[in-house]
Every structure is written in structure tokens, then in C-alpha cells.
Amino acid sequence: MAAAPVASSGMELLGLTRQQLCARLAERGLPAYRGRQIFRALHQRLVQTLDAVHELPKAARAGLAEEADLSPLRLDQVFEAADGTRRYLFSVRGGHAIETVWIPDGERVTLCLSSQAGCPMMCAFCATATLGLQRNLTAGEIVAQVLSVLRDAGRRTGQPRPAALNLVLMGMGEPLLNYDHVLQALRILADPEGLHIVPRRVTLSTVGIVPKIAALGREPGRPNLAVSLTAPTDELRARLMPVSLTYPLATLRQACLDFPRRSGERITFEYVLLDGVNDGEAEARALLQWLAPLRAREAAKVNLIPHNPAPGIPFRPSPPERIARFQARLRAKGLPTYIRRPRGRDIFAACGMLAATSSPSA
């Protein structure tokens, strides 16, 4: 049976900053404090309807409800992995599927958000690439992923929100190709009268859209930067990540060198380890060499990501001893290098596996 379409588009309240919301209400003759009341109700109390904003007079609620859209997402399915990771499958307008992943780690939770439905970047090791780009998400759709998952967590745990909440833009899509909506969403999520998720708790991961890295560096409330690298030479990278044909490694490195860092901040370089492809001694040496100018400024750290196998993706994960050797080679030269523990593999929630799979396993 076909699912009902996501509600029609009206004024997308979740995509407005508090200031914009107040301005929109002013156009309707409502005072600014009403905008703040609605903003707080949506982002702190996580209400889903204007009817639940009891502070608003009934007439104002009814008038706004006619033109406002508070539900840009429809939650279709939730999968829970043995390690507690949860994958949320949502529909957005147009019928596209997107995913959000809840990754608990003790008191801390990381939410992995999607910025596009599908992705145009064609990374050879990533299941999302097989979908192609369907469309950019709106700011409201990005914000709604956080609100919806927190609402679910609140129902399950009775806690309004985790003690420490981090956001990573590492789900479906290349966030720097949806720059304005992503930055707008982060401004909304950072508002102290809302969820107040400050920029240093947010990491944006890009394959290396060089002009947008420069633009991001100029943003006042910018997130942390992660670069998905995965190959230390243009020849290999062009095979694994076609973005390298447009932005070769030399220009990518220059953009990273020019990126204004906060005190003590390092750019994270993500490196997906593919058995026999990019995990040998030669690649470790080439990676150290490519990173040398950044290492000299203590500007880089490396996250090694064991490849997560997905249907139709022709790579194998590197064996653990090969991963450990690769890490040791980088560490021996003083480069901070960490191995990311795979999370939620059994529900297709791990890095590189998001392809809107509607069953928990193949």
C-alpha cells in the first residue's frame, strides 16, 4: 500500500530563525514576543502542532495553522542495532527517503544528519552514491531531523535530551552543495532560546568542495570541519572519489591550509580503509607526505574508518591487523590518528551504508 504523501508545503516554520519567525508574525500583526513563544515551543518543548502552543490565543493559533507547515518529514521506520544505534527512515516532500542516525556512547549522543536526499558525488565506496541526487533538503527538513529524533528519545527514555549532544553532517549528501540551507539550519539549532547546539558541537564533513570550504571559513558561527579524503594521490582519489577531478588534492590542501582555525583546532581527515586498495605502506607514506604542511602547523588529525560493506559496493573492509598497522605508521610520525568503531552495521546505519534501505539487513 502506498504511504500518504508528506503534508503540503506552507510557511515552513522549522526553517525560520527566531528573528525571521518574529518578522513573519509582525507582518500578520502579531507582536514579536509571540514569535519567541512559538520558537521556544517548537525547539525546546518539541511540540508538533500550533494547538500545543497554549500561550498563543486560540484565534492566532487557528490563523497560523492554516498557512504554516510544521511537519516537513514523515517518520516511516526506525531500526535499532544491537549496539543501540538507531536508524530513522523519513520521507520528505516529493516522496524521497532520507535517513538520520542516533549513535549513543555513554552519556553522549551523536546525531548523524542528512543534508540532501541522495547524493551526486559518486564516491565508489558509498551506498548513498547509488541513489544519485534527488534534491537538496530545506533548512526545515534538516532541523526537523533533530527535533523528531529527540522527540522519540524523550518518549523512550523520559529524558528531554541527552547530557551531551553532538551533530555530524555525515549522513546522506554533500552538505557544502546545500550550503545556504545547511548554514541556516545550524543557526536555528544554535539559538540559545532553542536547542542551543553550539557550533563546536557540530562537525560538517565534505569531500572537498574547495570554494565552499573557503566560504565556510568566513562564517562567524561555523561548525568544525572534516574532510573525507580516503586517498592520498589524485590518481587513486579520482577512481574512488570523482570530486578529485574538479578539485585536485593540491587545491584541497591549500583550502585546508587557508581555513582559519580556532585555537587548538584541527581539521579531521577521514580515511575509509579499503582492503588492498588504499591501506598499504605506500599509501600511508603518501598520506603523511600530503599532510606534511598541515602537520607542521598541528592542523590535522586522521580518523580511520573501516569500510562498511553494503550491497552492490565492490570493496572489502581492511582486516583489523592491516588497520592497526596503518594507524601505527601515521602515529609513528606524530600524527594524531584514531580508528572509528563501526556503529549500527547490522541495520545499515554505519558510515557509507545509508541508501534508504527499508529492511534492517540484506
Active-site residues, by number, are 99, 351
176 belongs to the binding site for ligand SF4 (CB under 6 A)? no
Part of the chain binding ligand SF4 (CB under 6 A), chosen from 42-50, 166-174, 285-293, 322-330 = 166-174
Shortest reach from residue 247's CB to ligand SF4, in Å: 13
Residue 27 and residue 343: Cα distance in Å, rounded? 47
Which C-beta is closer to ligand SF4: that of 121 or that of 330? 121
104 φ, ψ to 5°? -80, 145
Question: 30, 113, 123, 273: which one contacts ligand SF4 (CB under 6 A)?
Answer: 123
- Taking CA atoms, 83 is separated from 103, 318, 344, 350, in Å, by 9, 21, 7, 11
349 belongs to the binding site for ligand SF4 (CB under 6 A)? no
Residue 362 and residue 344: Cα distance in Å, rounded? 14
Question: 38, 185, 186, 207: which one contacts ligand SF4 (CB under 6 A)?
Answer: 207
99 belongs to the binding site for ligand SF4 (CB under 6 A)? no
Write down the residue that cell numbers 504511504 correspond to.
3
Shortest reach from residue 304's CB to ligand SF4, in Å: 15
Part of the chain binding ligand SF4 (CB under 6 A), chosen from 70-78, 83-91, 168-176, 279-287 = 168-176
- At 10 the three-state DSSP class reads coil
Question: 73, 172, 190, 273: which one contacts ligand SF4 (CB under 6 A)?
Answer: 172
Shortest reach from residue 174's CB to ligand SF4, in Å: 4
335: left (phi over 0), alpha (psi -120 to 50) or beta: beta
Cell numbers for 350: 554505519
119 belongs to the binding site for ligand SF4 (CB under 6 A)? yes
68 belongs to the binding site for ligand SF4 (CB under 6 A)? no
Residue 92 and residue 171: Cα distance in Å, rounded? 15
- Taking CA atoms, 201 is separated from 163, 222, 248, 252, in Å, by 13, 10, 29, 24
Of 80, 77, 34, 31, which Cα lies nearest the Cα of 55? 34
Shortest reach from residue 122's CB to ligand SF4, in Å: 6
- Taking CA atoms, 156 is separated from 81, 231, 299, 314, 339, in Å, by 15, 41, 40, 38, 30
270 belongs to the binding site for ligand SF4 (CB under 6 A)? no
Q: What number of H helices and E strands is found in the chain? A: 11, 14
Q: Pattern 223-242, binding to ligand SF4, x per CB under 6 A?
A: -----x--------------
Question: 129, 274, 288, 304: which one contacts ligand SF4 (CB under 6 A)?
Answer: 129
Question: 99, 174, 270, 279: which one contacts ligand SF4 (CB under 6 A)?
Answer: 174
97 belongs to the binding site for ligand SF4 (CB under 6 A)? no
Shortest reach from residue 84's CB to ligand SF4, in Å: 23
